[in-house]
Amino acid sequence: MNSASFFRYLLLWIVLSLLIGFLSGSASAVFLLALNWATDYRESHLWIIAFLPIAGFLIGWSYYRFGENSVKGNNLLLDELYKTEKPIPLRMTPLVLFGTILTHLFGGSAGREGTAVQMGGSLADQLTKFFPLDTSDRRIIIIAGVSGGFASVFGTPMAGAIFSLEWMLHRQIRWKSLFPAFLTAFVANWVCASLFAVGHTHYLVDLVPPHNLTSLLWIIPAGIAFGLSGRLFAQSTHFFSHQFSHVIKYPPLRPVIGGLLIAVFVYFSDSTTYIGLGVPRIVEAFETPLPWYDWLAKTGLTSFTLGAGFKGGEVTPLFFTGATLGNALATWIPLPLALMAGMGFVGVFSGATNTPMACTVMGMELFGYESGVFLGISCLVAYLFSGRSSIYSSQNLDKKFHLYPEKGIFNFSRNTSPKND
């Protein structure tokens, strides 16, 4: 790269990164403020959960009528990164924002990462209409949009940048993508946290044991459990999606039936612990022992919610699943409770998304760098033992090295997940 090309690259991506960071950070801020309102309103008006089937129909019908390829969600971003065939439609942003807020307002179990990432990617891709960019540059645009969305919705700029690169370019990271990904992540996080004053949840890991052989060896069984849990989460989501598509041919009707069953579950369980984001329960997992089955209940309810066609992310439910599983394992594994919850928090996320580097860095940003060795080993072991599973059916895992057999327990292949119709 000569001097002229370098300065063109630098100028172009400074301008684009600032624009994408502002757009994705602003979108995440609006989304988080709306999500906080929806959660507070639902918890103070629990009767609204009875109308979840109606909300499901509105979501299903809006995607059926207007969504076109936007129904593919995060997988559309991956498809366009690999193939770069069509622009990501701008309609993805209002559709996923509307669908996610309704899902949370009326009591579905979902997250927020998918929404922020899709908004960031779709808004960023609109800039290709105004700048002369080639195919390679368009890939970087999408990566930057994902980076900005992830960083701003969780308040983790380093992890956001690494996630966009690791998730979208699994083991094939392009150096030209690094600068835009990191600059966009930091700008988006600043816009969301400073301009809009949107805060993020803090988790406390106050005790980290010495790095001796005994302590480090205990990470391995925990990491294996986190990897299997991530695999179960991914396979369960694909399973329910496949079943709903196979049994119910009219797409808007799927979340109606799913919403009805979720509302019945909440009524008879007399608990809202496992719906919504579940952030209060995640915080509890770092502080006090919880029922052992919390992780399993959240896995089942979230995979059912998303499989039925409701909108939202998978990552915060993965945090819930991992933190509560780590909490339960602390009964048998002699490591501090908060550290086990933190290891599970990022370990299950690593196993389900195949992004061990991003998850390790995210854990250090959230819990402190002192726990980095424990988090890193946990994420790597979980990644290795999750097999070729992913919550993203379009994620390219052809080059993934893993220790788990291709056929065996929880083997509902990601390739059998239904076409989005």
- pLDDT averaged per 10 residues, the chain (length 421): 82 96 97 97 96 97 91 88 82 96 96 94 93 87 96 96 84 78 98 95 92 95 97 96 95 97 95 95 97 96 96 94 98 97 98 95 96 97 92 80 53 42 35
What pLDDT does 420 receive? Answer: 39
What pLDDT does 175 receive? Answer: 78
What pLDDT does 403 receive? Answer: 62
What pLDDT does 413 receive? Answer: 44
Cβ atoms of 294 and 330 within 8 Å: the answer is no
What pLDDT does 169 receive? Answer: 65
What pLDDT does 4 receive? Answer: 82
| Per-domain residue ranges of the chain | 3-195, 213-416
What pLDDT does 417 receive? Answer: 39
What pLDDT does 405 receive? Answer: 54
Q: How many CB atoms lie within 10 A of CB 173?
A: 16
What gap in Å lies between CA 385 and CA 223, rounded to an integer? Answer: 8
> Of the candidates 170, 172, 216, which has an alpha carbon nearest to the alpha carbon of residue 388?
170
Fold annotation for 3-195: Clc chloride channel (1.10.3080)
Which helix or strand (DSSP H or E) is residue 223 part of? helix 219-247
pTM assigned to the model:
0.92
Q: What contacts 156, CB < 8 A, 6 or more positions away?
A: 150, 189, 361, 362, 365, 366
Superfamily of domain 213-416: Clc chloride channel (1.10.3080.10)
What pLDDT does 409 receive? Answer: 44
> Of the candidates 314, 129, 150, 122, which has an alpha carbon nearest to the alpha carbon of residue 230?
314
Domains 3-195 and 213-416 share a fold: yes
What pLDDT does 173 receive? Answer: 61
Joined tokens for residue 106: 């009326």
